[in-house]
Structure 1
Amino acid sequence: MHAGSHFKLLEALIWTRRDLYKFALIASIATVAYEVLDFKWISIPWIPVTLIGTAVAFLIGFKNNATYDRLWEARKIWGAIVNASRTWGVTARDFVTNDFGNSDLTKEEIHSIHKRLIYRHIAWLAALRHQLRQTKPWENMNQRRNEEYRRRFSVREHDVSLESEMIDLLSDSDLKYVLAKKNRATHILSLQSADLKHLRSKDLIDDFRHVKLQGMIEEFYTEQGKCERIKNFPYPRQFATLNRYFVWLFLLLLPLGMIAEFEKLGNILIWMNIPFSMLVSWVFYTMDKIGEVSENPFQGGANDIPITNLSRTIEIDLREMLDESDIPAPTEAENQILM
């Protein structure tokens, strides 16, 4: 997520500079062929071009609305995870007690149970993040423009292994169990459920508290499933593919339709067809690319949901609920990009 006021114009131009080279080449070939080689027949009427341009504008608008919905839904999901995680921390701390008089556990032993439940939840956040950062074939971070911009910031889940993040959060047996599974976040929550069952058998929580805590695990499963739905189901490929074809059709026809319009202004001004074709092409193509980079809000791009930052915020809150003093620092934006 960009944490500044806006992307600078120079950043946008650098990000799209290869496209500008293509637009300049297309417009130059059309103009030189028309004016220098006297291929007057390549000129086409302006009205068909405008009709195609109008259709393309609608398609780009539809795509951007749809991809923004994916992005905003992802942000709402993680907002719900933040709220539910705080509730889990305070509920686990206050519900697991010696109030029922059936246990002789010391205050320190009760605190260790609180710590186990809360640390395991922090491990769940780490596992979920790592699963969401895995690369899918339809994602676009492998494009040269995005790989180049990616060098301006780091993605923790790409640089640090999940095992190293969980080693201080889970017991050895829990860590071994989780790492042996494919969907590790799912099985961390299953460990939480088994732990709650054990606590109920020891009368450290009553039926009401057990149901309440179990309901929160169900909520975490629900939010995890929503994340997986966005991650594992791409923006429909038929829309993405045909949209690209239609955009390029318009960009190829654009200088051929504009050239006759500039000829009406005079023979010298016909060369203005090149910069103006580049400008219009840049606007349409960049708007299409804006929608494309919003399709996959967990892929680790500059416009993604900052799930690493949100997880760290949750971790700080949960550790403070345990009255710990060794609290990790909040994540900072790197070149105004917050991950």
Structure 2
Amino acid sequence: MNSGRLYKLQHFIPWTRRKIYYLIVISAIPTALFYFFELKWLAIPWVPVALVGTATAFIAGFRNTQTYNRLWEARQIWGAIVNSSRTWGIIVKDMVRDVEGSKEQDLHRTLIYRHFAWLTALRFQLRENRAWENVKTRSYNQEYLKYYSVPEWEGNLEEELKKYLSEEELSFILKKKNRAAQILALQSAQLRTLNEERKVSDLNYVEMSTLLKDLYEQQGKSERIKNFPYPRQFASINVMFVYLLSMILPLGFLNEFSKIGSEYVWLTIPISVIVGWVFFTLEQIGESTENPFEGNANDVPITSMSRGIEIDLRDMLGEEDLPAPLSANSNNILM
């Protein structure tokens, strides 16, 4: 996500420059034909332009509202994961008991570090690419990647999991398809063993199992957003309407400016570019918001949130060599 006050203009204009080039061409051609070759029939009444513009504004506003809702829901899900993770740390520390103090500390560390492994596996899974996602398929998004990096694309899952899992568990998890889900299954299996050994009371066992169920639910909600795209019919019609509007805008402006004087028809080009750019930018912003885990600059910062959870829980364990919080880069992008 962008943690600055505003996007910088030197980033925003280049991000949309291809649309600007297109608008210049699509408005210059009919203007030149109208002025030099006197093709007066190119000028159309403003009413059809206004009708198409109204429909385009409606569908663009609808799309941006819905894509924002997807982004905000994803942020709420990860806010719940933060809260449940802290609860997990407290419950493990206070409710898992062993006669031998050193073994108790090892138990606490195993359960909490396995939770870090779950967070790691989940964020790597969420940052995998899907066919409908835009960050790697749109040229303007690919160019914007120079302003930030995605840790999950540059890192290695096996190396990350080595920090938190035993060799046996690591070998087991790497063979699985949904690694995050299997890590929670390992947590559940150990809780059952601890309950049978009377290291976790029946009441506490139920509480901890309920918390694992909550983590499963939050993972499932994240996967629902990740694996179900914003409906393609709405995304498609939005693009179609914007391109249709961009093509008829110059024709409507030709009619209006020609009423003032023949020389004024050249105002069609800058005005058409400005109005068209507004609609194209709305469409592009909606597109960049609809997939909140794809590795876009507008993503929910799950890497940073995972690091924050790790700091909190390791602090609960009494560790002193804590990792530093992740901060936004020089372009204010926080992943």
Deviation at 1:242, TM superposition (A): 1.5
In the comparison of the two structures, how many residue pairs are matched? 333
Per-residue deviation, residues 201-229 of structure 1 (Å, max 9, x unmatched): 11101100000000000000000000000
1:6 is paired with a residue of what secondary structure?
Answer: coil
* 1:148-167 correspondence runs (5 A): 148-167=143-162
Aligned to 1:41: 41
2:62 aligned partner, one-letter code: F
Q: In 1, Cα distance between the equivalents of 2:84 and 2:91?
A: 10
Question: Which residue of structure 1 aligns with residue 121 of structure 2?
Answer: 127
- The counterpart of 2:183, out of the listed 179, 183, 188, is 188
Residue number among 318, 330, 338 corresponding to 2:334 in the alignment: 338
Mapped to 1, the partners of 2:165 and 2:10 lie a distance apart of 46
Q: Which stretch shifts more, 297-306 or 39-48? A: 39-48
Out of 247, 257, 265, the residue aligned to residue 242 of structure 2 is 247
TM superposition shift of 1:147? 0.6
Tell me which of 164, 173, 178 is aligned to 1:169.
164
Match of 1:304 among 299, 308, 320: 299
- Residue type of the alignment partner of 2:70: R
Letter in 2 for 1:213: M
Q: Which amino acid aligns with 1:87?
A: T
Aligned to 2:197: 202
In structure 2, what is the Cα distance between the partners aligned to 1:37 and 1:267? 12
> Residue type matched to 1:248 in 2?
Y
The CA deviation string for residues 272-319 of structure 1, in whole angstroms up to 9 with x for no partner, is 100000000000110111111110000011111000000000000010
**Aligned residue in 2 for 1:221:** 216
Give 1:54's aligned amino acid.
T
Which residue identity lines up with residue 42 of structure 1 in the other structure? L
Q: Determine the structure 2 residue equivalent to 1:102.
A: none
List per-residue Cα deviations over 1:70-106 (Å, max 9, x = no partner): 00000000000000000000101100014xxxxxx42
Measure the CA separation in 1 of the matches of 2:307 and 2:260.
60
CA–CA separation in structure 2 for the residues paired with 1:71 and 1:285: 20
- In the TM superposition, 1:45-84 aligns within 5 A as 45-84=45-84
The offset of 1:27, in angstroms, is 0.5
| Amino acid of the structure 2 residue aligned with 1:311 | S
**CA offsets, 1:100-128, max 9 Å, x none?**
xxxxx421110000000000000000000
Kindly state the Cα deviation for residue 9 of structure 1 after the two structures are TM-superposed: 2.3
Deviation string 1:30-82 (CA, Å, 9 cap, x unpaired) is 10011112111111111011011001000001000100000000000000000
Q: Any residues of structure 2 matched to 1:218-297 within 5 Å, and which?
A: 218-297=213-292
Equivalents in 1 of 2:317, 2:264: separation in Å?
73
The amino acid across from 1:139 in the alignment is E
Give the letter for the 1:236 counterpart: P
Give 1:92's aligned residue.
Answer: 92
| C-alpha RMSD over aligned residues | 0.8
Distance 1:299 1:67 in 2: 13
* Partner Cα distance (2:20, 2:195) in 1: 65
- Measure, in 2, the Cα distance between the counterparts of 1:242 and 1:190: 43
Give 1:129 deviation, angstroms.
0.1
CA distance in 2, matches of 1:245, 1:288: 11
SS of the equivalent of 1:259 reads helix
2:110 aligns with: 116
Match for residue 137 of structure 1 among 131, 136, 158:
131
Give, as a single letter, the amino acid of the residue that structure 2 aligns with 1:15: W
Q: State the match for 1:101 in structure 2.
A: none
Q: Distance in 2 between matches of 1:269 and 1:35?
A: 10
Q: For the residues of structure 1 that align with 2:10 and 2:45, how far apart are their CA atoms?
A: 35
* Structure-1 separation of matches of 2:202 and 2:61: 52
TM-score, structure 1 length as denominator?
0.97
Structure 1 unaligned spans of 5+: 99-104
**Paired residue type of 2:259:** K
SS at match of 1:151: helix
Amino acid at match of 1:127: A
How far apart, in 2, do the equivalents of 1:262 and 1:12 lie? 30
- Secondary structure of the residue that 2:172 maps to in structure 1? helix
Task: Indicate the larger mover: 7-16 or 210-219.
Answer: 7-16
Cα distance between partner residues in 1 of 2:75 and 2:147: 23
3-state DSSP of counterpart to 2:78:
helix
Q: Distance in 2 between matches of 1:120 and 1:10?
A: 43
Q: Which amino acid aligns with 1:186?
A: A
- Alpha-carbon distance in 2 for matches of 1:132, 1:126: 10
SS of the equivalent of 1:268 reads: helix
